[in-house]
Structure 1
């Protein structure tokens, strides 16, 4: 039986993917003024944070699926160079996003209450269990979903 948390993660992810369905790679890299990133960066960043929250802090390195270029492109504090083509296609990021929640659930569905390496987010939220890290992903993806929506309207 699926946890409501995983249902929520799928709901938010479904909305993220719907928002970018049919978007061309070139348009996904437009950075509208006054913003400092684009749709592709937001999508890659969502993927990066989910992987980190689900697998790194839980010490599940073997389930971690992270393309080599992603940390330098999509970690917190990174931003794309305006006008410079990113070395990853939008379709690759979308493909990774489409399968991510299923991978997370299959690894962690029976471990939600498990304690993890503690971490405090940049906003000051203290996380110390699998469930807390995954719940934080809901807020994080929702925030970037809205940013993608704004960028899409501006381009």
Structure 2
């Protein structure tokens, strides 16, 4: 079962990486009218939240470049003052981080601990995630939401 979980995560990530194709540095920073975030924020957010869902409950070290926890958590925006306080990752940096993350999670997160009872993570919608496996499964839904947003942003910005 855990192999299937990790395979699903890798497939979903491949779709997110495919959605990055054709995105330039300039396009990545444009915010569509009526929205608060851009493509770069979406990608950094997916990476940051995945780190949290994969490692926080088991108190395993997260691999977060400087400023990611401040720049990309839920509720933030590139329009916020805090965004100017930390280095901005380039698209190649984000792509590299996003590419290596699923395999690193598979290598670091022991399958034997996926169903451990751990401190609950409560999502922004109020869902309590009680095990690392629940968190990783929810993360696939979360990444899928942002994949959809990335796809919409790309269409809106290329008009």
The question of 1:145 aligning with 2:143 is answered: no
| Cα deviation code 1:8-51 (max 9, x no counterpart) | 11111000000112321111111011111011100000000000
Match of 1:48 in 2: 48
User: Bigger shift: 112-121 or 85-94?
Assistant: 85-94
Shift of 1:81: 2.0
One of 52, 70, 73 as aligned partner of 1:72: 70
Which residue number in structure 2 is paired with residue 102 of structure 1?
103
Is the contact between residue 51 and residue 66 of structure 1 (CA under 8 Å) also seen in structure 2?
Answer: yes
Deviation at 1:121, TM superposition (A): 0.7
Pairing of 1:62-141 with structure 2 (within 5 A):
64-81=62-79, 87-110=88-111, 111-141=113-143
User: Does 1:36 find its partner at 2:42?
Assistant: no
Aligned length: 152
Structure 2 residue aligned with 1:24? 24
Question: SS of the counterpart of 1:26?
Answer: helix
How far, CA to CA, are the matches of 1:5 and 1:28 in structure 2?
30
Matches of 1:22 and 1:150 in 2, distance apart? 14
How far apart, in 2, do the equivalents of 1:22 and 1:98 lie? 16
Secondary structure at the aligned position of 1:87 is classed as: coil
Gaps of 5+ in 2: none
